[in-house]
Structure 1
Amino acid sequence: MAEDVQARIKQLILRRRLTPGDPLPTETELVAMLDVSRNSVREALKALQAMRIVEIRHGFGTYVGALTLEPFVEGVAFRAAVRHLQGEPSLYELMEVREALEAGLIGTVARDLPAADLTVLKGLVQRMAEEARGGQVQSATDRAFHLALYRSLGNHLLSEVLDAFWAALRRVREDLADDRQDPQVTYRRHQEIVDALEAGDGHRAVAAMHRHFDGIRRRLTGK
């Protein structure tokens, strides 16, 4: 019953062309509209909230949620952490998926990277250099770099998926206390990517991206 009510609430959002932040009918209105019990509506809304499809603001009402990939990130990261502790190469596999996506796209980016995006990337690499001198490249800087890298492709879903895999890999490494990266190496690998992009050399950019992941690969395999 709850799954059916979830599906009907999602159809209501689509039918009314609601967007994130828009209010949904009240719980009482949904009960009457869907002709189901109050408990069924509450269960459905709680499940949809877990998926970030709706947001329940106690005392204010229910709204269309942010519709982010956060539940996906949490699921993938937790799956990888559990299987890693069972001796499976789940963390390595997660890294491979992210590498395949980024290395497969960087050549396209290199052919037509806007000057403004290149300026942003250069600024982020300069920040990495400063952070590396201080002993640690901040994860926020690394994340901003990889987000800026593919912005010119103009594909919002692609950006969200890439960021989701970045976040999942980072989260599971933090959960497993795997943070042994050399900040100077991190900085240099990103600088190599920017240098290749500035030269408009797609093959060099792909090679630089693979070298970037080689460092992660060595930490995961111990080789």
Structure 2
Amino acid sequence: MTATRTTGARANQQALQRAIREYILDERLSSGVPMPPEQVLMERFGVSRHPLREAMKALEAVGIVDIRHGSGTFVGIGSLTALREGLEFRAALSLNGDLLAARELLQVRRLLESGLAGEVLARRDELDMPALRSAVSRMERAAADGDYEASADWTFHRLLYEPIGNGLILELLEVFWSVFHRLDDRLPQGSATPEVIAGWHADILAAIDAADRDHMARAVAAHFDGISQRLG
């Protein structure tokens, strides 16, 4: 009986969350717009305060609403937090087994970044070249001391794709990058020493400086071949 009630409550909660999402879309509410007061929503969906607040907390976790204590609840922007956590957990689990999920995730990232290489060169004049060089220099200086400069690594990748002007691409790349960064200590190093990693990025930068599409393709491939080697 208890299990049945639990299952029913879960189904009701999922239905309420779905109804709130549909309400936002049907009403054509934009990101940042305030949601109606609790009492209005309770009457609209025929629920009490507790299940409504539970639903809002669940929707906040995935960025559908933004709860600002003292100000109210607003329409969110749709976060990739849940995707990041799910992929990280999936990849971490695979480290205890055949590493398949980690390799699949790397393949998706590789396809995305390799496919964008041409776009990067097409927008070469919009790239912040001094900042890219600074990121590579930071990696090289850290590598000279045997250290890997993770923040400079992500900065380099972010700066490469910012001129494309697609926020979703940047969010996805940040998800993929952060997942592998969090798993880094659990992966075998292989030949990917800090010096080698800095060299991958320096070679990509050289290809951009030369505006050489073939060189760019080889440099990006070498970067991902190195990561792939760590996954066997």
Q: Provide, for residues 93-123 of structure 1, a one-character-per-residue CA deviation record: whole Å limited to 9, x for no partner.
A: 2212111111121123123312542232122
Give structure 1 stretches of 5+ with no counterpart.
none
- Count of equivalent residues: 219
- Structure 2 counterparts to residues 1-223 of structure 1, below 5 A: 1-14=12-25, 15-20=27-32, 22-58=33-69, 60-65=71-76, 67-174=78-185, 176=186, 181-221=192-232
Judge conservation of contact 1:78–1:172 (CA < 8 Å) in 2: no
Judge conservation of contact 2:63–2:79 (CA < 8 Å) in 1: yes
CA 1:25/1:167 → structure 2, altered by over 3 Å: closer, same or farther?
same
Give structure 2 stretches of 5+ with no counterpart.
1-11
Larger Rg: 2
SS in 2 for 1:18: coil
Letter in 1 for 2:112: L
Letter in 1 for 2:194: P
CA 1:177/1:208 → structure 2, altered by over 3 Å: closer, same or farther?
closer
Q: TM-score, normalised by structure 2?
A: 0.83
Judge conservation of contact 1:94–1:169 (CA < 8 Å) in 2: no
Distance in 2 (CA, whole Å) between partners of 1:188 and 1:70 is: 31
Of the structure 1 ranges 210-219 and 187-196, higher mean CA displacement relative to structure 2 is found in 210-219
Judge conservation of contact 1:111–1:201 (CA < 8 Å) in 2: no
CA 1:53/1:108 → structure 2, altered by over 3 Å: closer, same or farther?
same
Q: Give the root-mean-square deviation of aligned CA atoms.
A: 2.3
Distance in 2 (CA, whole Å) between partners of 1:209 and 1:55 is: 38
Q: Provide, for residues 122-143 of structure 1, a one-character-per-residue CA deviation record: whole Å limited to 9, x for no partner.
A: 2211221222223323211111
